[in-house]
Structure 1
Amino acid sequence: MTDEQDAVPETLATYLRLRGLEPSPRAKRRRRRRDPDDEHQPFTGGRDPKGVGDVLNALTREAGWSSNLDRADLVRQWDEVAGVETARHTRPVGLAEGMLTVQCDSTAWAKQLKFMRAQILTEILRRYPDAGVETIRFLGPDVPSWKWGPRAVPGRGPRDTYG
């Protein structure tokens, strides 16, 4: 063994000097054994500080919040997932049982996005795998309902001109 391997680590030697203790010559010769109380000792492995992001990621994983947070991030960052121009004309309105429902400004946007469904779904699964999105449903604009009152007539009525 070389002198470097036998020597007390510099961090531990500094700690002992600051406490007024000198490392014993015996400590240099004997091999360091893993003590069960080792995690409470300074300058040992596993005692390095962790970043706030790492701590929060571990907390959300342990608490089971990752799917809810991914869903919230998906809605909040919809313009990055779907694209800025598409996001101006659409907005996610619901996510239930694996189906993301997206409201569009016009039926033309809804029809065009149906053709792009696979591309948008792939991007969602790449960015937010824990969100639980399996399919996307695109809806046209909300139109007024003509079905009200006791004398409502079945059929399409004047609604075929909207959208």
Structure 2
Amino acid sequence: MGDDPDETTAPRPTPDVPPAEHDDGGLDYARAAARAASKAPGGTPAKRRGGPPSDADRRRHRRAGGRGSGAHPDDRDPQLLEGLVARMVASHGWELDLRVQQVFGRWAEIVGTEVADHCRPETLVDGKLVVRTDATAWATQLKLMAPTLVRRLNEELGHGTVTVIDVLGPHLPSWKRGLRSVRDGRGPRDTYG
């Protein structure tokens, strides 16, 4: 403490306060704050580094709902994609939708190739399967086959999934409007099948 003005005016660092120069990450501030908190009255001692956890740490971890790592598999372990997809399907309730889409994709296997060439399933809602045919003759044939198809579809999807098959004929043009429409006429009949 001499005549040098810089020496008398410069603040001296205290043990609990970090020096003025520090790294940009702020790690020295965090360390100093942890040291100060552990020395303060009522403060918690600094955590140990390394070594096995104490019995108190294990009990605290279990009470908090955590699972310890060990030899048994848990959710943190790598999972097979098949298991993850199965859990996601179950949690969202997509089982029936997937089975329905599988049946729609395998329609030719279930009903036969000849029938599948002339009709296709459109929707399955509340046990009612809507099937569209390409000709009215196939619509009649499918209505006769309906009980057999219901049984076969329920074998694939589960009992009671399909209760009724609604068979629709081909999409036909409307003759209700235009130059050649007739009021109260009988309509086009089956000129397309």
Give 1:137's aligned residue: 166
> Aligned in 2, Cα 1:94/1:152: closer, same or farther, shift over 3 Å?
farther
Identify the match of residue 61 of structure 1 among 84, 87, 90: 90
Is the 8 Å Cα contact of residues 67 and 130 (structure 1) preserved in structure 2? no
Most deviating of 104-113 and 153-162: 153-162
Give 1:25's aligned residue: none
Whether 1:157 aligns to 2:187 is yes
Identify the match of residue 102 of structure 1 among 131, 152, 156: 131
Is the 8 Å Cα contact of residues 103 and 141 (structure 1) preserved in structure 2? yes
Query: Aligned with 2:174: secondary structure?
Result: coil
Distance 2:162 2:79 in 1: 32
- Higher radius of gyration, 1 or 2: 2
> Aligned in 2, Cα 1:130/1:64: closer, same or farther, shift over 3 Å?
farther
Aligned-pair identity in percent equals 35
- Structure with higher helix content: 1
Identify the match of residue 144 of structure 2 among 115, 131, 136: 115
Flag structure 2 segments of 5+ consecutive residues without an equivalent.
1-61
Give 1:84's aligned residue: 113
Distance 1:106 1:71 in 2: 25
Give the TM-score normalised by the residue count of structure 1: 0.61
Flag structure 1 segments of 5+ consecutive residues without an equivalent.
1-35
Most deviating of 87-96 and 123-132: 123-132
Give 1:31's aligned residue: none
> Aligned in 2, Cα 1:53/1:123: closer, same or farther, shift over 3 Å?
farther
Q: How many residues align?
A: 127
Distance 2:154 2:110 in 1: 10
Whether 1:74 aligns to 2:109 is no
- Alignment map for 1:19-38 (pairs within 5 Å): none
Distance 2:81 2:177 in 1: 55
Distance 1:52 1:147 in 2: 55
> Aligned in 2, Cα 1:66/1:131: closer, same or farther, shift over 3 Å?
farther
> Aligned in 2, Cα 1:127/1:53: closer, same or farther, shift over 3 Å?
farther
> Aligned in 2, Cα 1:130/1:70: closer, same or farther, shift over 3 Å?
farther
1:69-98 Cα distance to aligned partner (Å, 9 max, x none): 223222222112212221111111233332
Identify the match of residue 40 of structure 1 among 69, 75, 91: 69
